[in-house]
Amino acid sequence: SAVISQKPSRDICQRGTSLTIQCQVDSQVTMMFWYRQQPGQSLTLIATANQGSEATYESGFVIDKFPISRPNLTFSTLTVSNLSPEDSSIYLCSVEDRDWTEIGGYTFGSGTRLTVV
């Protein structure tokens, strides 16, 4: 399965600022997924990032707040903009482990724990 390097692992940010999270994958992947995990909660998909096209956002998430870049098949960034305390969460990137015929499970990065003060 793929290996993902995600950074930063944690950050404390001031209100109104932005945080950019980076994910590097050790193999080329078509889609990368960005999730939010609020304290003690499950995983909520923010968006799917395809290389060479705009990310596809889930209901409740907008590009202005969560801009995503996907410059190549091994790298993606998620920016959380105009931070408020409600943005305090763990943010995770992931890729799907699959061959050409069957869907597979996800490999996740180690997560970025964001605290907004």
- Binding segment for another protein (CB under 8 A), chosen from 12-20, 69-77, 81-89, 98-106, is 98-106
C-alpha 107/C-alpha 39 separation (Å) is 20
Give the Cα separation of 43 and 98 in Å (integer): 20
Among 49, 68, 107, 116, contact with another protein (rule: CB under 8 A): 107
For 16, left (φ over 0), alpha (ψ -120 to 50), or beta?
left
d(CA 117, CA 107): 30
- In the 8-state DSSP scheme, what is residue 74? T
- Is residue 76 a contact residue for another protein (CB under 8 A)? no
Write out the two tokens for 70. Answer: 């996907």
Minimum CB separation from another protein for residue 61, in Å? 12
Residues numbered 25-64 forming contacts with another protein, rule: CB under 8 A: 41-43, 45, 48, 58
Q: Candidates 57, 61, 75, 108: give the one binding another protein (CB under 8 A).
A: 108
Binding stretches for another protein (CB under 8 A)? 1, 4, 6, 41-43, 45, 48, 58, 92, 94, 97, 102-111, 113
